[in-house]
Amino acid sequence: MPRVVLKLGDDVSTDAIYPGRFMATVLPTETPQYCFADLPDFNKRLNGGEIPEGSVIVAGDNFGCGSSREQAASTLKGHELVVAAKGFARIFLQNSANLGLRTAICPSLEASEGDELEFEAGRVVNRTTGRMFDIVPLPKARQDIIDAGGLIAYARKRLVETKTKR
């Protein structure tokens, strides 16, 4: 069951997620090493393989604000983290969908580090506290892109489907 590995507040900037001083490194295979580089203990745990794929970052409102840098979503996707927040910055949310990063908009979410969360259809269940929280659904097209693994995978899938129908 996924656990909350990091709890953050409101207005988490893309610069906190992927510091600008690393912008010379933009390859998705290289960006993950700088994920939350200014939180050295957390970064070390990520890079040391101590945090399993599917682990959850919980945040307040406006997660991913500040810039349009795609690397902020890329670095999280590289570790296959899930981000559940009360709200997301618009550009970050679109970048996340394009890269296939799993996100959940959950305005009333309450969770602490170490809590076990289960993502069900339309809600998050905090198995540690027994409480349930509604998820704001993404538009179907955006969710389809995420489910496909990102925009490139989605486009490939659609091209194959189109060729098959001919």
When pLDDT is cut at 50, 70 and 90, the band that residue 166 belongs to is: low
The residue length of the chain stands at 166
When pLDDT is cut at 50, 70 and 90, the band that residue 119 belongs to is: very high
Spatial strand order of the sheet with 131-134 comes to: 117-120, 123-126, 131-134
- The pTM of the full predicted model, rounded to 2 decimals, is 0.93
Rg from Cα positions in the chain: 16
Domains of the chain: 4-136 (3.20.19.10)
User: Using an 8 Å Cβ cutoff, are 48 and 20 in contact?
Assistant: no
Tally of CB atoms within 10 A around 163: 8
- Name the average pLDDT for the chain: 95
pLDDT at position 165 over 80: no
Phi and psi at residue 3, to the nearest 5°? -115, 155
In sign, the C-alpha dihedral spanning 31, 21, 4, 145 is negative
pLDDT digits (tens, 9 = 90+) for 34-52: 999 999 999 999 999 999 9
When pLDDT is cut at 50, 70 and 90, the band that residue 67 belongs to is: confident
